[in-house]
Structure 1
Amino acid sequence: MAKILVAFDTVSEGFEALTSEHEVIFPPRGRDFTQAEIAERIGDCDVLCSVFDIPVGRDLIDCGHSLKLIANYAVGYNNIDTAYAAEKGIVVTNTPRSVIEPTADLALALLLSCSRRIAEWDRAFRRDRDAIEHGRLCRLGVNLYGKTLGILGYGNIGAAVARRCQAFGMTVLYNKRTRYSEAEERERGITYAEKDEVIRRADVLSLHTPLTPETRHLIGARELAMMKPTAILINTARGAVVDEPALVAALKEGRIAAAGLDVFEQNDVPSPELFELENVSLTPHIGTQTYDSRVEMVHELCNNVIGFLRGDRKIDRVN
């Protein structure tokens, strides 16, 4: 029997496979464990189940004297010092599949909000429902049909966004580290282009890269200057993929049309200026904020933990 520390609060459904075989420690209902509480409890645990907004750095890892696995409840794992975990012989896993469809849904929702100015109309309507100006040329949106979607980081989520946008009649340009074969591009109905060309040609630029030293500020002042003044930027990846002050400046000056943002550079706390801009739709990192997704993520997390402990299946290792 292993001892497993679950550091975060989530749905209870799906954990039965763990609790039936192992000792599992959960936080009080309605909140996560604090860093101090994790450090206090992790000493003799075999497994730590972490989540993207709980940092797992060297100090915390060093408290886990028996730790063999860190199972992250997210696709991103930049909250974990994976290199140090590897040095200590600790395996790290993530949950890459259960996040795909809900995050793609949110990216499309942000895109529709920006293209049809839904959040802007909603705010104006609430402010003055009787006298709201809605003449034929007021707050004009744009059609998606016939427009070009540019995707940087064409992984599973990027591909899911592409499928949705193709259903709206959009053309898809993509860029990723390893290009698909021409046959696969034809099958997917997508076209490869270098990063700068994707940025220049996109009517909508959607970001789906992990956060690494190479992708930090992937979109900065230089790249924003390349974008069409009518372009929309969507970020459901990680906040620091975008230079947020540079984005604020571009939005204020009308150098791009709009942005739909679910993630933000400073620990997911938006720049105050973003709240003042009408051409921005904001959500507070809710890419997987559906009940179905939460349950699927629990199942995926538990599959990794059980697979690691039994050694009887493939798990989603990231180190």
Structure 2
Amino acid sequence: MDNIKVLVINDEGGDIRLEEEIISNSLGLGAGELTITYIPAGDRETIEKELPEAHGVISVYTHFDRKTLEGMKKCRIIATQTIGTNTIDLDAATEFGICVTNVPDYCIEEVALHTVTLAMACVRKIRVYDMLARSKKWNIEDIYKEGTAHRLQGRRYGLVSFGNIAKRVAELMKGFGMKVMAYDPYLEEAVFEEYGVEKVDSLEELFSSCNIISLHTPLTPKTEGMIDMNLLKKMPEGGILINTSRGEIVKEEDLYHALKEGILGSAGVDVIIDESQFESPLYELKNVIVTPHVAYYSEEALTECRQKAAEQIADVIGRGRIPKYLVNKSVKGKTKTGLIG
């Protein structure tokens, strides 16, 4: 076997011992047969220089457009350490015979818990009450000025999409006595029934019915900007929106105005449209809780994610197997991958 070259591109500091151990042990490679190189995600010059010689790439949010993918003549797999794959041109990757994998199940518990935590913080007005306490405003008059609070029992919780994370959120919210509803046109009724969740046929119905709604849909051209003012206006008074998926799914200006004008009661977001600039208008509102895209995080989740991404590399490069988390499934017919079932 020729020397196998794998790139690890992220901002995690360059510790690639886990990847080296998994890939070398899985493939039975000795010294000189495997080279794994770490490149900081911001070093685009080095990334572009090294990609043409790489047989596999492990990345987080690196962008791979058609031009970049076309130049990756030796590459057989890009294993992204994320759930979403919106930074990769999947059609081009398929055309050029490059497998794209994700890790859809590494942080289900973390994201579900973060979603519920944001929802609970909004329901109980934790940010607002914290600000009151720090301002030495402990009297009931000031508390009442911040609006009413309500019990959860008997109220409705809505889920946009009903994948693994949303299913776990449903289990948790039902524990608080809430009625849970979900919109996902790609799933059969039986899936919802298994979790005791009511299926609705449209986003309009979901937003009209639910007091709290959380977003769990991937970012695609179809879902970009999907949540707009027309939907937000349909929520009951004091409605709460939670987003732990992707910022671009929500029209941010619409969300801002809905919150500022009292159309919504509050929101909890772990993602915004441009996470590099820190200029979201949402920051100026006290009825918004913003966390810095950390819903996925725990040490256990990160280790699991790295392990699973490395295993995808080993499956494709060393064993010629169809990887467990293959996203662009039509790539299986391309001769470059040489995949077997």
Query: TM exceeds 0.5?
Result: yes
Change in CA separation of 1:261 and 1:269 when aligned onto 2, cut-off 3 Å = farther
Rounded to whole Å, the distance in 2 between the matches of 1:12 and 1:122 is 41
- CA deviations on 1:234-281 (whole Å, 9 max, x unpaired) are 011111111100110100000010111111123565554211111100
What's the offset of the Cα at 1:68? 1.2
- CA deviations on 1:129-179 (whole Å, 9 max, x unpaired) are xx2234263544332222111111111111111111111111111110223
- CA deviations on 1:91-124 (whole Å, 9 max, x unpaired) are 1100001021111111111111111111222233
Rounded to whole Å, the distance in 2 between the matches of 1:25 and 1:19 is 14
The structure 2 residue matched to 1:306, chosen from 314, 323, 339, is 314
Q: Are residue 25 (structure 1) and residue 37 (structure 2) matched?
A: yes
Contact 2:51/2:72 (<8 A) preserved: yes
Rounded to whole Å, the distance in 1 between the matches of 2:22 and 2:282 is 43
Rounded to whole Å, the distance in 1 between the matches of 2:290 and 2:103 is 25
* Matched residue, 2:9: 7
* Matched residue, 2:331: none
Change in CA separation of 1:271 and 1:221 when aligned onto 2, cut-off 3 Å = farther
What's the offset of the Cα at 1:313? 6.0
- Residue 95 of structure 1 aligns to a residue whose secondary structure is coil
Contact 2:5/2:36 (<8 A) preserved: yes
Q: Are residue 190 (structure 1) and residue 192 (structure 2) matched?
A: no
Q: Are residue 37 (structure 1) and residue 46 (structure 2) matched?
A: yes
Rounded to whole Å, the distance in 1 between the matches of 2:188 and 2:173 is 19
Q: Are residue 171 (structure 1) and residue 179 (structure 2) matched?
A: yes
Rounded to whole Å, the distance in 2 between the matches of 1:216 and 1:124 is 36
Q: Are residue 149 (structure 1) and residue 157 (structure 2) matched?
A: yes
- CA deviations on 1:203-252 (whole Å, 9 max, x unpaired) are 10111111112111111111111111211000111111111001101000
Percent identical across equivalent pairs?
Answer: 29
Contact 1:48/1:69 (<8 A) preserved: yes
Change in CA separation of 1:278 and 1:33 when aligned onto 2, cut-off 3 Å = closer
Contact 1:39/1:63 (<8 A) preserved: no
Rounded to whole Å, the distance in 2 between the matches of 1:13 and 1:108 is 34
Rounded to whole Å, the distance in 1 between the matches of 2:238 and 2:178 is 16
* Matched residue, 1:137: 144
Change in CA separation of 1:157 and 1:33 when aligned onto 2, cut-off 3 Å = same
Contact 2:7/2:54 (<8 A) preserved: yes
Q: After superposition, where does 1:220-299 map in structure 2 within 5 Å? A: 220-267=228-275, 269=277, 271-299=279-307
Contact 2:270/2:295 (<8 A) preserved: yes
Contact 1:251/1:257 (<8 A) preserved: yes
Rounded to whole Å, the distance in 1 between the matches of 2:98 and 2:268 is 37
> Any stretches of 5+ residues in structure 2 without a counterpart?
329-341
Following TM superposition, the consecutive aligned residue runs of length 4 or more in structure 1 with deviations greater than 4 angstroms are 267-271
Rounded to whole Å, the distance in 1 between the matches of 2:108 and 2:35 is 30
Rounded to whole Å, the distance in 2 between the matches of 1:119 and 1:19 is 48
> Any stretches of 5+ residues in structure 1 without a counterpart?
none
- Residue 144 of structure 2 aligns to a residue whose secondary structure is coil
Rounded to whole Å, the distance in 1 between the matches of 2:276 and 2:259 is 19
| Greater gyration radius | 2
After TM superposition, the score normalised by the length of structure 2 is: 0.85
The structure 2 residue matched to 1:122, chosen from 124, 127, 130, is 130
Rounded to whole Å, the distance in 2 between the matches of 1:88 and 1:134 is 65
- Residue 43 of structure 1 aligns to a residue whose secondary structure is helix
Change in CA separation of 1:205 and 1:239 when aligned onto 2, cut-off 3 Å = same
Q: How many residues align?
A: 311
* Matched residue, 2:212: 204
Contact 2:268/2:289 (<8 A) preserved: yes
- Residue 209 of structure 1 aligns to a residue whose secondary structure is coil
